[in-house]
Amino acid sequence: MAAALLTDYRVNWIVASPAQRASAPARGDVAAAMLDDEGAAALGRSPTHKVRNSLSYTRAGLQGRVLMLGSQIVAIAHFAAFGSYEFGSIWPLGAEQIALVDIVTEERFRGRGFAARLIRDACDHYQQLGVDSLIAFIWWTNGPSIRAFRKAGWTRVGLSVEVKIRSVWLRVRIPLQRGVLRPTQDPPIGSCSAPR
């Protein structure tokens, strides 16, 4: 009976960068930049379906940031500021925060740390522009994304659980205390700053 009533669900970890962090270490073989028209055209020709689909965020007016290896785009992330953030039902966004709403790496470049590099670069870029912190939400079982944010040094700050019963969404947001480790829990994702 209950299964017939439950029509959909979403469970997301909420992760955040701290207010300040040291600059990401530079690597000579990669460079990050804002997505421009030429880059958007290149994304449209990508062999990776998820990369091509990320253009929907560009068309919706969200800022894109790319990680380049030579002349090739290897990863793309899209960001929403307070006025363009449409995911308040998952987690609220502060006026001085930016949300990383999508990140994807070209299939042939996955598993090489490029997503974590782009996430760290985004911390640097937006904090240099005066943004207090960045947040992101990650599907609770998306291991590669969880690892990328952990490697980039972000911290779990909440859990968002949404269930749809018939046509009504019920939402629960559970804030977590940053940096608290309990023996029966997985370690938190980390912090965006260097270990102390």
Instruction: State mean pLDDT over 87-106.
Output: 88
Cβ atoms 165, 5 nearer than 8 A: yes
Read off the pLDDT of residues 149-171 as tens digits, 9 standing for 90 and up: 999 999 999 999 999 998 898 99
C-alpha to C-alpha distance for 176 and 178, rounded to whole angstroms: 6
CA 102 distance to own-chain centroid: 6
Q: 97-105 and 133-139 as β-strands: parallel, antiparallel, unpaired?
A: parallel
**pLDDT reported for residue 105:** 94
Statement: the pTM of the whole predicted model exceeds 0.85 = no
